[in-house]
């Protein structure tokens, strides 16, 4: 069952009190804001690219570039760690907001 179907079927006093256009806008925003698996994927891909460039010795001969790639790699690891912390906060905030709109929603209620 998709979130879209769950959103259509769940009762929400807040949604019921809104005009149709605002109701649709809120439902779409909740769907769009749902945490996804892609949150930190870009940082992971960048890390893989940096590692690959090092493995292929594409930067070995250029000390300045080698130093820069090492710095970028370290920055990427820091950003990945930060994004992991932010994702946890994001998921908590999303659940809090979603339970305001759909009071009976809890993590295990996806199949209602």
Report H helices in 10-109: 13-16, 20-33, 41-55, 63-101
Q: Which residues contact 51 (CB under 8 A, 6 or more apart)?
A: 73
pLDDT digits (tens, 9 = 90+) for 12-52: 888 888 889 988 888 888 888 888 777 778 888 888 888 88
0.85 surpassed by pTM: no
Q: Which DSSP state fits 108?
A: G
pLDDT digits (tens, 9 = 90+) for 63-104: 888 888 889 889 988 988 898 899 899 999 999 999 998 887
């Amino acid at each position: 069952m998709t979130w879209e179907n769950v959103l259509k079927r769940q009762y929400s006093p807040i949604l019921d009190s809104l005009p149709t256009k605002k109701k649709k806008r809120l439902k779409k925003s909740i769907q769009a804001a749902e945490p996804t698996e892609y949150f930190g994927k870009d940082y992971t891909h960048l890390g893989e690219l940096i590692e690959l460039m090092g493995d292929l010795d594409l930067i070995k001969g250029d000390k300045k570039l080698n130093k820069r790639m090492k710095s970028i790699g370290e920055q990427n690891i820091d950003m990945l760690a930060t994004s992991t912390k932010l994702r946890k906060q994001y998921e908590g905030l999303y659940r809090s907001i979603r339970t305001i709109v759909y009071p009976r929603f809890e993590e295990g209620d996806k199949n209602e």
